[in-house]
Structure 1
């Protein structure tokens, strides 16, 4: 099982996951042309894809969904609330497929379990994806780590987790107060310290790889994330690798179990 975060941040989010003969995208928040360019950098093509899964309807997660679906004849999987909320932005799809949040489904070689997260959209989800041997969890755009989220993430060998903002940078930054309050709310985004505290919990799990994603370009900095996480993890001797996803280019192609 392999995955690559093609890019993550407020300007676009897109992650490739593959196992066996099955290849999917989680979100497609860049233009179709940009997603094609980034996939080519890791020797892949949208023509290789079997489906797109959508976490929620914000533009930085669905901006390229419609064009990729129509151009490559791809089914798009989302729950009814997200399909309805994103309809005006994605327009016509080659095929729209619905799942129920909390109910797993199979897509060729992959079993996918969508779980509820905490964000200010219609029905936002994260995904736990397994090929029967290994599993990857995707969890960004959540204002808090709930008991349900914790349960799902602890079952995986690899994790893509949000570390969106530094609280001091957000407080002293240029956003108007109502946006600051939204970001730091339980239905906003996950702060560096909250992500770091959860990673400490993961030191007792079977997680092998963690990618920290959706870093704010305005309210965060890679050095701050790295320092916070290293400080929290140092006493606990973590065994998992740690990578920071970038907005401007794909990250490494990570093999789960390799």
Structure 2
């Protein structure tokens, strides 16, 4: 499939110097998050097949060759599926931990860069902190981005809100936060018992209430946008995720938004 190069270089940076982000889609069928400050644009994970990833990028006004890098959180298919094909076709460098690489699920890529958890690095104008998280993968990380005094946390796929995670993501201006499941829906839902134990365990995924607990610990004063992400198709509903987080905002849900599986989330700018 041929994807035309967008007329505008990066629509996320229409206001020069502002940190912006968008979602290709979020959920068990595929994940991908764009982060841009106008000078630098990176894609966190790509859990969609090549053609679908190209289509979703085009919908957000980005051609794969405009990506400065792809950052991989871990090796599960809903985060890794399209990384290798996209990198090979368009020559996009890939940053990931050695543990993720040695899972053997990526294949050869043209530009490979190691991530060391808890060791800050930069891609052009973006400063990136990779943070170890409790999840059932080989060497999983999530990311905090900073540029020009603004910060964005991308925090999905963790089993419980650990002290380490709370400290690393405090004081963000925007946060993409996992709200994977409602415990009752998970318990009574269609998953087999082993998978239910995995999802609801300390190395699985955050329940709505755990996301609310973590958000309260992070502090809300600076947060301009809170994105509920990675909602389970079978074990959660958007209204339940919003219901869990809204009380922390004194009933004002204007800062809350949901990243959908099918349509993702259009560009959001941080002041």
1:253 aligns with 2:270: no
Moved more, 238-247 or 164-173: 238-247
Displacement of 1:51 in angstroms is 0.4
1:82 aligns with 2:100: yes
1:136 aligns with 2:152: yes
The match for 2:181 is: 165
Distance 2:179 2:67 in 1: 28
Distance 1:16 1:122 in 2: 24
1:233 aligns with 2:248: yes
1:68 aligns with 2:86: yes
The match for 1:103 is: 119
Displacement of 1:205 in angstroms is 3.4
Indicate conservation of the 8 Å contact 2:181/2:235, yes or no: yes
Distance 2:64 2:151 in 1: 22
Distance 1:167 1:148 in 2: 24
Q: Deviations over 1:80-107 (max 9, x none)?
A: 101111x3x3211011110211101111
Distance 2:189 2:254 in 1: 33
Distance 2:45 2:152 in 1: 15
Distance 1:33 1:115 in 2: 30
Displacement of 1:238 in angstroms is 6.0
Identify the match of residue 47 of structure 2 among 18, 26, 29: 29
1:10 aligns with 2:25: no
Using structure 2 for the length normalisation, give the TM-score: 0.89
Displacement of 1:240 in angstroms is 6.8
Distance 1:98 1:173 in 2: 39
Distance 2:216 2:37 in 1: 29
Displacement of 1:202 in angstroms is 4.4
1:146 aligns with 2:162: yes
The match for 2:15 is: none
The match for 1:213 is: 229
- Structure 1: tracts of 5 or more residues without a match: none
Distance 1:90 1:108 in 2: 24
- Structure 2: tracts of 5 or more residues without a match: 1-18
Q: How many positions carry a matched residue from both structures? A: 253
SS at structure 1 position matched to 2:112: strand
